[in-house]
Amino acid sequence: MRAFCLFFVLLLAGPVAARSVTDSAGRVVEIPDEVHTVFAAGPTAAVLTYILKPDTLPGWPRALRPSERPYIAAPYRDLPETGRLTGRGGEANLERVLSIEPDLIIDFGSVRDTYVDLADRVQEQTGIPYILVDGRFEATPEALRLVGDILGVPVRGETLAADVEETFARIDALLSEIPEEDRPRVYLARGPDGLETGMKGSINTEIIERAGGRNVADDGGATRGLVNASMEQVIVANPDTIVTWDDNYYAKVFDDPMWAGIDAVQRGRVYLSPVEPFGWIDRPPSLNRMIGLIWMAGLLYPEEWTSDLRDDTRAFYSLYYHVDLDEDELDRLLEWTDGRPR
């Protein structure tokens, strides 16, 4: 009943104070002039929304874990769980979405036809405007500007977009000096045995190439996305740098005889990515990758990329996540980002 009323309210209120925006998929969507509440369709959109205008976020797709709480500003770390709304409606009930009464649904990620369809359906069914935002790494500045504009914080959107563009430009300037064959060979080790990885071109490893690494899991573009690798393939690929965010894997990699012969392990170049509150590499692949990118550029090009990760991290968490980290929190976050002496 409530949903029904809401539908009529939206129908009546909609045309009065509304404007049209064009989302990343080229859909023209009518949205209210002032957006107070945004339902984030998934974790990537939640991160984006939180960064731009946390007040509009009614909840997290997954409630924060205790270890993640210090890295999100106080009022927002207690937001409830709302579930995801991806792929055939996901597990967030549409009625629950309606009961939250969002002005807008935002999805940040793929803008392919399936998602366009899903957005159109949900929009038609609920009467809530549904915005699709392109989640590719390269499209990050546009995403920030688009959503900043939609949420009524265009200045913040512009500031962050400029910040992202500056980081991209710094890396591009650095990489223009370094030919492809001289770039580090990086392996992303996922899963407790480190044998799950992302093929070159997948969204999970986009950050490696963006930071100027060569993803050793490369079959010439035949496969994209996550795959199982075998130890033998890792040995043949012999990466000189390994990044992971699995602490089970990180705990054993230096003692495991199978990994002992890998260049990266012999040189002590295995790094554990922070995951709080969101993973620095992917998991989810959202704005959180910006600090991961800075970190990885420093790992891959220590001579050329001379900035202090501690300062960068403090600045990033303050500017993007609205939280000022104390020394303890920074220590905990950055514990293994420099690798570990063997």
Partner 1 sequence: MDGRAPEVGTTPRDRVARFPGTTLIGVLVALVCVTAFAAIMIGPFALSPGEVLATLVGRGDAQSTIVVWKIRLPRVAAALLVGAALAAAGASYQALFRNPLVSPDILGVSAGAGLGAVAGIFLSLPVAAIQGSAFVGGMVAVGVVMLVASAVQGTDRTLSLVLIGVVIGALAGAATSLLKIMADPYDQLPAITFWLLGSLAATTSDDILPALPLVLLGLVPLWVLRWRINVLSLGDEEARSLGIDAGRTRFLVIAAATLVTASVTALAGVVGWVGLVIPHIARMLAGPAFGRLLPTSVLIGALYLLVVDTAARTLAAAEIPLGILTAVIGAPFFVWLLARGRRGWS
Which among 211, 212, 200 has a CA at the least distance from the CA of 291? 211
Pick the closer one to partner 1 by CB: 257 or 341: 257
Contact 194, 253 (CB under 8 A): yes
Which among 273, 292, 281 has a CA at the least distance from the CA of 336? 273
- Minimum separation from the CB atom of position 175 to partner 1 (A): 25
Residues numbered 158-197 forming contacts with partner 1, rule: CB under 8 A? 190-193, 195-196
Which among 23, 5, 27, 22 has a CA at the least distance from the CA of 127? 5
Residues numbered 56-85 forming contacts with partner 1, rule: CB under 8 A? 62, 84
Query: CA 134 to CA 23: how far, in whole Å?
Result: 8
Half-sphere exposure of 54 (CA within 13 A, CB side): 15
Pick the closer one to partner 1 by CB: 89 or 154: 89
- Minimum separation from the CB atom of position 45 to partner 1 (A): 13
Query: How many chain residues are in contact with partner 1, going by CB under 8 A?
Result: 41
For position 214 contacting partner 1 by CB under 8 A, the verdict is no
For position 284 contacting partner 1 by CB under 8 A, the verdict is yes
- DSSP string over 234-280: HHHH--SEEEE--HHHHHHHTT-HHHHTSHHHHTT-EEEPP-SSS-S
**β-bridge pairing 104-109 and 38-40:** parallel
Choose one: 2-10, 132-140, 213-221, 309-317; the region binding partner 1 (CB under 8 A).
213-221
Contact 224, 197 (CB under 8 A): no
For position 145 contacting partner 1 by CB under 8 A, the verdict is no
- Minimum separation from the CB atom of position 326 to partner 1 (A): 27
For position 283 contacting partner 1 by CB under 8 A, the verdict is yes
Pick the closer one to partner 1 by CB: 230 or 306: 230
For position 91 contacting partner 1 by CB under 8 A, the verdict is yes
Residue of 17, 19, 260, 331 interacting with partner 1 (CB under 8 A): 260
Query: CA 175 to CA 11: how far, in whole Å?
Result: 52
Footprint on this chain of partner 1 (rule: CB under 8 A): 42-43, 62, 84, 91, 190-193, 195-196, 199, 204, 217-219, 222-223, 226-233, 235-236, 245-246, 248, 252, 257-258, 260-261, 279, 282-285
